[in-house]
Structures are given as structure tokens and as C-alpha cells.
Amino acid sequence: MFLRDHFLLSCCFSPGEVICEPPNNKLDKFTGTLHWRDNKYSLDNEKMLLRGCVLRNTEWCFGMVIFAGLQTKLMQNCGRTKFKRTSIDKLMNTLVLWIFAFLICMGVVLAIGNTIWETCVGRKFELFLPWDEFQSSAVFSGFLTFWSYIIILNTVVPISLYVSVEVLRLSHSFFINWDQKMYHNQSDTPAEARTTTLNEELGQVEFIFSDKTGTLTQNIMAFSKCSINGQTYGDVYDEFNQKVEITEKTECVDFSFNPLCDKAFKFYDCSLVEAVKQQESAAQDFFRLLALCHTVMPEEKSEGNLVYQAQSPDEGALVTAARNFGFIFRARTPETITLCERGRAATYDLLAILDFNNVRKRMSVIVRNPQGQIKLYCKGADTIIFDRLDPSSEDLMYATSEHLSEFAGEGLRTLALAYKDLSKEYYQVWQKKLHYVSTVIENREEQLAALYEEIEQGMKLLGATAIEDKLQEGVQETIACLNLADIKIWVLTGDKLETAMSIGYSCNMLRDDMDEVFVISGLTQLEVQQQLRNAKENILGLRRLSSTADVQKGDVFAEDSVFEETIISEYALVINGHSLAHALEPQLEHTLLDLACLCKTVICCRVTPMQKAQVVELVRRHKMAVTLAVGDGANDVSMIKTAHIGVGISGQEGMQAVLASDYSFAQFRYLQRLLLVHGRWSYFRMCNFLAYFFYKNFAFTLVHFWYGFFCGFSAQTVYDQWFITLFNIVYTSLPVLAMGLFDQDVNDQNSLRYPSLYKPGQQNLLFNKRQFFLCTLQGMVTSFLLFFIPYGAFSVMLKDDGSDFSDQQAFAVTIATTLVIVVSVQIGLDTHYWTAVNHLFMWGSLIVYFAILFAMQSDGLFGIFPSNFPFIGTARNCLSEKSVWLVILLTTVVCILPGLVVSFLRIDLFPTLTDKIRHLQQSRKKQRPQEQNLRRVRRTSSRRSAYAFSHQQGYGELITSGKNMRVSTLSSSRSLERIAQSSSWIENILKRKNEVSAEPAESHKADRLK
């Protein structure tokens, strides 16, 4: 944080003392005093430069660092880093606890069973198997049995699940990193999953909180169209007179005739160049106006290398346009403007700048051209200009007005241009008045405004410009697509209300066909409350009038959420930071939230970083929804940290947002792919994985439970020890892992084409407590069948050679083999996407199972460790028996078929969207998938003037005073004068400075951390 000091302290830095407030996060307040050389200077917010500001139009400033690092207001606004976990994770923990409870229940049941058994049966069997010495009673035996069963049945608690889940998430993150479609060529930036634990949450996002500048927009203004003298330029037509869509490939106008042109400037309509070349006076005046009427500072570092320092990107765009069309603004002094008009230098005397402010919504310059004529050039919001036109321009006004509507319809920011010829006498009179008024102390501002108004009358219309606030590529499509996926997008920006709204319009988030756009801009809590209530009543009121005539007002708001879903009409809410501060108070936050959720679009402007986080927190806390915050600047860090998922756009704004984020990439449009493809897949895979994992563990483990009823609850295991050890790790881990890695129900193109596929994730449908219950139930039933079918068969089964076959080892091998086959078939049915890896893992697992089975039961191993491999020969004798295979076949069929029937019936009778699209995908497989072709939407929209949006109060005064110009460019006489005036201009500059720096300061862009 800098204290910018304009008292040219130069070389005399003697010790001083600053007393100020402790570090805090209030951006609009600072109090402190500076004691220096026995003087006291008050320090307030106007004298502060906040971290993140960029100095403009000056090479240096003196300052003093007051807070640094974590104490800066920026960092104070960052919020705390939280440990982020997915909802699946939390659910999983709950479920594991449930399973643990279930395990204990089983243990208790079996322990009680053991106690009873020991009392009734075991006593008689003591002859053959005396109790251990320490075993004093049946109850004690039951107690021991409890612990034995806890140990045996512990495989039902899926410990390996946690490891597998992490492996899956890590791989999903790699898939995000590897995705070429999220790689940005121009900046060589691939997408990056910086957190590997949140992937499946990407499939459940309901709210997106987006920053504006740098995220939705590129923060680049482009001169895209204009209307000159009733003629529009900017569109490209082909030979059939059809309008051509402008794309990257469209050939742009060659400005090589102009040595001073800006190479980056692109314009596609050649007819405008022709018009300018053909000496059309309107076209020339048009660009002359653009080159003269502005407050841009030029910097010519070397010959022909012009750089414009514009207060707002709009102005820069206009001046650059004039420059390329041959009206090059080269230099300015406080009294002159030098142009290079189509190769010839021309110097205009700058007589006055009638500066911009929010009320006037226009700016004018009065110049004397080289021919000695005095002219007033004015640019401003169309409505304002049209009111002040000469009657002779009326026809032109109607034509231009039509064009303006057209431009606005395309989401462009428009500006009307007009000029007026002034007679010398008239100007001199006016100038005297101006001189008088500028010395008046009372009501100077108003009097000045009136004076400006007086001269800006009876102007002649020149035309209109249309500037495109360049959105990032594909923003409209992305927003439309995410909206279709039922994701609500809230824009939180530090920008002005008008700018935010204009971007809202150009992103299609705000539309003229919306029923109403509520703008909340109250200054006091009461006002805000009233506005919120009114808006809400407005939405809910109509219906309620018809349904319930007189409901108590208190009840009205209590029931609101019930109606939420049924709102069909579209509303939008725009709220500014000041009102937001009130609305976020505990007593109002519910009203705000309810209202915001009733609206299709929510835009919060002029918000501080902390407020961004508060809004996110509000939704996060009360809506139980997954939130995602996306931003690119340091001012977004707090919201990125607060949201469930933070996404950083790595752009020109430095790395801070990216460093705090969980996912980062270069373009807003990749969000679509991140959520709809990667998020959806991750969620889908993770859910199927979990469901199968629980199923498998239950099917595997509960067999012991059933066996307990036949072995006197003695904690005898059904399977071989080795099988128990290897089942989860070797025999069944890989196929399910392959499914978790590669499974795709619907391919990526269709995921994007049908955004509705995303909805099941938001509704938490694929894995929840109900699904868990179902899959464990399936596991239990499977284990039941797995035990009782072989049981029924084994009690009577004989080998062909007559030897009996009901021994425990053969039983164990049969059940184990059946289990492996059943769970493999089940994973086969659950797999939607059989890649080679799936095949390999699947068949490989089965082969490995049999290989290990025979190896473990081989003669050789038994010969070495007889006590460890007692199953010698069982597999050979058992699996060579056809009746065993008949049992395995029967059990497999009985275990699998019911599930198959249910899923077939479900797909056939109640297909979900996913099923339908899978079906479609299948039937279209042979056809080449067509690329999605979302056309740029045209809409009708009220026109908006660029000038009103991006501009702060102008600094025309600064220019005419010449104080911002370097000494070398000034004559020595003026510099003397300047010193004399110094005390007054310092104040002025101080005042202006804050406005100049206000924009970057509030939106805290570029951080200079280097």
C-alpha cells in the first residue's frame, strides 16, 4: 500500500511519523496523519494507492509504503483458506460410519447366537472339543465371538475404498490436465487441476459466481461498426449481398497505406476506407471528431510508434479507429492538438474541453482548426445528443437512430457524434462567461453545467459509433449452455452498475424480453429492504392475488420458497455493492437469497472482494448447493477460496487467482467442458464406482454371516485366508478401477450438446443414501444366494467317483469362484464403455484369480509350508467336477438376472435422458458426429451508450491545465506559471488522481508482485 505524496519531496526524505488505523479490509476508508517537519498532514482514502493499482500517464510518483504483504487491504480481503471436501466425501464418511454400526450389529447378533449355541449345543460337543481353559462360560464365549466376527467381517468396511477413490480423483485430474480442448493455443496454457480431490463435485455445481472483467470480457474495446451520415459501415457482404458472419478468417481491411496505423486494429468493411479516401466530408469529419474529442494522452516513444494512454478502453478504441482511418492523433499540449490528417500535419487550437460527467453523459471540445474556424465537437449518449440537435439533422437522426437500435441489438455500446460551427463572436462571449464562472466559488459546478448546456445546442449530427466490449471467446454460448444445464450464473463485479448491466446484456444474461430487471440501489437498510420486498412481491404477487386473497404479510414471505420452482417468467436482479452490504445483514439475507433465487440472472456490481465471498458464503450456507467461483484477479481470491470449487482464469491479471484456485485454465469457455464433460464424467464414474464397491464388499463379506448359523457361530470363515487377503486387492480391484477411470455413458460431444444431462448430478441422483441402501441390499441378497445355493447343492453332492463332496474346503473354493465370477459379471454390466483396458483388467482379473487359486493349492507350496496352504488340491478336485460348475452357473444366473431385469425394464419403460442419448449415440454411431454449431444469437435490445458506462469523470481539466504533461513538452514560460499555480493544481490533481485510480483500485486488477 502506498501513500502517494504529491508534495515533491524529491531529495529531502527526512524522518516523519505516520499514525494510522490498523490493517483492515475496508477499501473505501482510511484515516491517519502524517507528522513531518513539524507539520501535520491528514491522510485519508483519497491519498491512498491500494495494492494492485496501476499508475497511468505518469512515470513515477513519490510514496510511502504503509502496509505490505498480509496487511494490505487486498490481502485482508482474501479470506481464510478452507479445507475443501466434496459432498460425496462427506457422504462417504457417514456411510462408513453406518457400515461400522452395521458391522457391530452383526457382531452382536452372532455373539448372541454363539452364546445360545454354546449353551444348547456346544456343551454336548465339549467331548470332542473341550473349551479353552480361560473360557469360563457361554457368555464369555459369545464375547470372544463378537470380536472374532468384528475381525472377520471387517472387510465390509471399505478401507481400500479411500485409496481407490483418491487414485480415481488423481487420474481424473490428469485427464483434465491432458485435455487439448481446454488448452489455449495463444497463451500456451493447458487447463490445470490444482486440487485433485474435488473432481466429482464438478458434476454437481448449481451456482457459478463469475467475475466480469478478464473473465467474461477480455477488457478490450473494439471499434466494430459505425453509422456516418445515415450510412452504416462494419458489416461484410458477399457477392450475393448476404451478410457474412465475421470470424477469425474473414479478411480484414488492409491499413498498410497508413504508416502510423495500429497493427492490432481490425476492421472488415472496406467501403469505409473508400469513403474516407473519396474525400467525403462527413466521413472525414467523423474521424476528425474522434481524433479531437477525447482526453487521451499520446506517447510517441520513437517515430511512428504511438501509444495511447486512455482513461477508458472505449476512448482508446475510438481514437485508435480514427488513427487507422487516417486521422492520427499525434500530440497534445494544453492548448493544441496535433493531428496527422491523411499524411498532412494539422494543428488545432484547443479552446475548451467540456468534460464528461455522469449527468451530462457527453463530452465536447471546442477547437480552432488550421483554417481558423471554430468548431465544437461533441460525443455522447444518443438520447442526450439527439435532444440537442439542429432541426436540419432530423432526417439523419431517424436514420441514425435505426442504426443505433441495430447496433445495440448486437450488444454493442453506442455513442452519437455531433458537431457545431461556432462564430468567433459567439465564442468570445461564451468564453468570457466561462472565465467568469470558473472563478465563482459558490455553485461553480452547476453554473458550469448550465454554460456547457448553452453552447451544446443546435448541433449537427455526424453519425454514431458502435464499440464492442469484447467478450472472451464463446462466453455467450457457454452461458447459454450452462443455463440449459440449470446452473445459475451470478456475476459479481467491482465495476459500475452500467458496465455490469451492459455486459449482462451482451452475454444474454439480461434480455429485453425479460419480465423485469430489478435494480436494487438503496442507500439505507430500510430502502434496500423495501426494494427487495417490492421486487419479491412483484414476482410472487400476481399469482398470489389470484390464489389467496388476503394472506398475512408475514406468511407471504414464509411460504415463498414453495413457489420458487413454479416461476416461469424471467426476472433479473441487479444490486450494487452499497445495497449489498445492507442486504447481507442477517435480517435481510434471507429476503435477498429468496429474491435472487427467483431471478434468472443476478448481477452484483461495485462489490468488494469480501462481499463477493460473502455472497458465495450466503448461497453455500442456505441453499445446500455446490458453488463454483470463477475469476482471474486478486480481487476474486476470496470468493474462489470460499466457494466449493474455485476456478482461476490465467490471463493478464497475474497468478494470484490461479494460485488460490482449484482449477485453472485460460478461457471462460472452458468452464463448459470442465463442468459438462469432466465434471459430469467424474461424478458419474465416482458414483458408479462407489455403488459397485459397496455392493462388492457386502456380497463378499456377508457370506460369513450366513455361515455363522451353520458353524455354531464359531467365527469360522467360509473362504480360504488367502482369498480373503487377495479378493479386494488383486481379484476385483482393477476392473472397477478401469470403470472408474474410463467409463463414459455419453461421449463428450453429446454431453455438451445436451446440457440437461448435467441435472442428475445437481439433484444428487446417482449416489445418495437411497442408492447406497439399494446397492448394499443387492450385495446382501447376492451374498445370501451365494451362500444358500451352494449350501443346498453341497449337502447332497457327490463326486462321480462316489467320494463325498460336502467338505468345507470344496465349499470354500466353490463359493469363492462363484463370487469372483458374479462380481465380474456385475462390473461387466455396470461398465458402459469397454476400452481395451477394461477388457484387459476384466479378463486379466479372472485369469489371475484362477492362476493364483491353483498356485496356492499346488503340491509344491504345500510341501514347503503345509500349515499355511492347507487347501492343497481342493481346486483341482473341485473344479474338475461338472456339478460344481453347474452350481456356479446357477448361482451366477440367479444373482445377476434380477438386476438385469430391473435395469432393462427401467431403460425400456422409464428411460432417463442419459439412456435416450446413449440410444441415439448408438444409432448414430456410423454417421460422423457433427460439430455443434451454436449460432450467435441476435436479439432486440434497448440501446445503451458506451459513454455512460466505462467512463469516470473526465480529466479534461487536467489536460487544459497541462499539469500532466512533461516539462520538456512545455514552453519555459508555462512552467514558470505552473510553479506559481502549484498549490491550487496540487489539490486538483489529488482530486482527479483518485478518480483516475479508482477503477483499478476497486477492481484490484493487476497485482505487481514481481
Partner 1 sequence: MGKTKDKSGPLARRPDNSAFKQQRLPAWSPVLTANTVLPFFYLLAVISMLLGVWLLLLVQSTQEIKLDYTDLGNCNECFDLRRNVSNAAQTCSCRVEFSIDKTFKGDVFFYYGLKNFHQNLRRYMDSRDDGQTVGWIKKLKNPSTYCEPFAKDEDGVPIAPCGAVANSMFNDSFTLTYHSSSGRRVPVPLLRKGLTWYTDKNVKFRNPRTDNLTLAQVFEGTRQPLYWQRPVYSLDPHDPNNNGFINEDLIVWMREAAFPNFKKLYGILNRADANFEKGLPRGNYSIDISYNFPVQHFLPIAYLVTSSLILLMAVVLTVAWWKFGKDGKNMKE
Residues carrying an active site annotation: 211
C-alpha cell read off for 859: 503340491
Residues 180-209 that bind partner 1 (CB under 8 A): 180-181, 183, 185, 188-190
Measured from the CB of residue 155, what is the shortest distance to partner 1 in angstroms? 17
Find the part of the chain contacting partner 1 (CB under 8 A) among 280-288, 375-383, 443-451, 787-795: 787-795
Given 219, 531, 601, 877, the residue binding partner 1 (CB under 8 A): 877
CB contact set of 949 (below 8 Å; sequence gap of 6+): 314, 413, 496, 498, 499, 502
Measured from the CB of residue 614, what is the shortest distance to partner 1 in angstroms? 36
Measured from the CB of residue 886, what is the shortest distance to partner 1 in angstroms? 6
Measured from the CB of residue 481, what is the shortest distance to partner 1 in angstroms? 17
User: What value does the CA radius of gyration of the chain take, rounded to a whole number of Å?
Assistant: 38
Sheet-wide strand order for 62-65: 48-49, 2-5, 62-65
Q: What are phi and psi of 449, to 5 degrees?
A: -60, -45
Task: Establish if 605 lies at the interface with partner 1 (CB under 8 A).
Answer: no
Measured from the CB of residue 132, what is the shortest distance to partner 1 in angstroms? 8
- For cell 491550487, the residue is 984
Measured from the CB of residue 878, what is the shortest distance to partner 1 in angstroms? 9
CA distances from 270 to 251, 254, 263, 341, 601 (A): 10, 8, 16, 19, 39
Find the part of the chain contacting partner 1 (CB under 8 A) among 444-452, 564-572, 583-591, 867-875: 867-875
Query: Are 18 and 1001 within 8 A, CB to CB?
Result: no
| Distance from C-alpha of 861 to C-alpha of 877, rounded to nearest angstrom | 17
- Torsion angle of C-alpha atoms 379, 385, 388, 391, degrees rounded to 10: 100
Residues 900-959 that bind partner 1 (CB under 8 A): 900-901, 903-905, 907-911, 913, 915-916, 918-922
Backbone φ/ψ region at 203: left (φ over 0), alpha (ψ -120 to 50), beta: alpha
Residue whose CB is less far from partner 1, 906 or 966: 906
Residues 726-765 that bind partner 1 (CB under 8 A): 742, 744, 748
Residue whose CB is less far from partner 1, 744 or 941: 744
Find the part of the chain contacting partner 1 (CB under 8 A) among 263-271, 296-304, 648-656, 827-835: 827-835
Residue whose CB is less far from partner 1, 473 or 915: 915
Q: Which of 403, 405, 401, 470 is nearest to 246 (CA)?
A: 470
CB contact set of 582 (below 8 Å; sequence gap of 6+): 522, 524, 525, 528, 529, 588
| Distance from C-alpha of 72 to C-alpha of 66, rounded to nearest angstrom | 9
CB contact set of 13 (below 8 Å; sequence gap of 6+): none
Residue whose CB is less far from partner 1, 808 or 960: 808
Given 271, 883, 982, 988, the residue binding partner 1 (CB under 8 A): 883
SS3 assignment, position 131: coil
Residue whose CB is less far from partner 1, 541 or 792: 792
Residue whose CB is less far from partner 1, 556 or 711: 711
Site string for partner 1, 830-849 (x = CB under 8 A): --xxxxxxx-----------
Compute how many residues bind partner 1; rule: CB under 8 A: 94
What DSSP letter does each residue of 178-232 carry, written as one string? H-GGG-BTTTTB--EE--SS-GGGGGSEEEEEE-SBTTTEEEEEEEEEEEETTEE
- For cell 474556424, the residue is 373
Query: Are 488 and 208 within 8 A, CB to CB?
Result: yes
Residue whose CB is less far from partner 1, 225 or 685: 685
SS3 assignment, position 704: helix
Measured from the CB of residue 237, what is the shortest distance to partner 1 in angstroms? 35
Find the part of the chain contacting partner 1 (CB under 8 A) among 175-183, 395-403, 496-504, 636-644: 175-183
The DSSP symbol for 23 reads: P
Measured from the CB of residue 740, what is the shortest distance to partner 1 in angstroms? 13
Which secondary structure element, helix H or strand E, spans residue 863, and what is its range?
Answer: helix 859-864
Measured from the CB of residue 707, what is the shortest distance to partner 1 in angstroms? 8
Site string for partner 1, 661-690 (x = CB under 8 A): --------------------x---------
Residues 79-138 that bind partner 1 (CB under 8 A): 121, 125, 127-130, 132
Query: Are 425 and 374 within 8 A, CB to CB?
Result: no
SS3 assignment, position 19: strand
Q: How many CA atoms lie within 13 A of 377 on its CB side?
A: 22
Measured from the CB of residue 613, what is the shortest distance to partner 1 in angstroms? 31
Find the part of the chain contacting partner 1 (CB under 8 A) among 54-62, 174-182, 211-219, 728-736: 174-182
Query: Are 183 and 191 within 8 A, CB to CB?
Result: yes
Measured from the CB of residue 920, what is the shortest distance to partner 1 in angstroms? 8
Residue whose CB is less far from partner 1, 295 or 650: 650
Strand bridging mode 663-665 / 645-649 = parallel
Residue whose CB is less far from partner 1, 309 or 716: 716
Residue whose CB is less far from partner 1, 492 or 815: 815
Residues 792-821 that bind partner 1 (CB under 8 A): 792-798, 801-804, 806-812
Site string for partner 1, 384-423 (x = CB under 8 A): ----------------------------------------
Task: Establish if 967 lies at the interface with partner 1 (CB under 8 A).
Answer: no
Site string for partner 1, 148-167 (x = CB under 8 A): x-------------------
Residues 687-726 that bind partner 1 (CB under 8 A): 710-712, 714-717
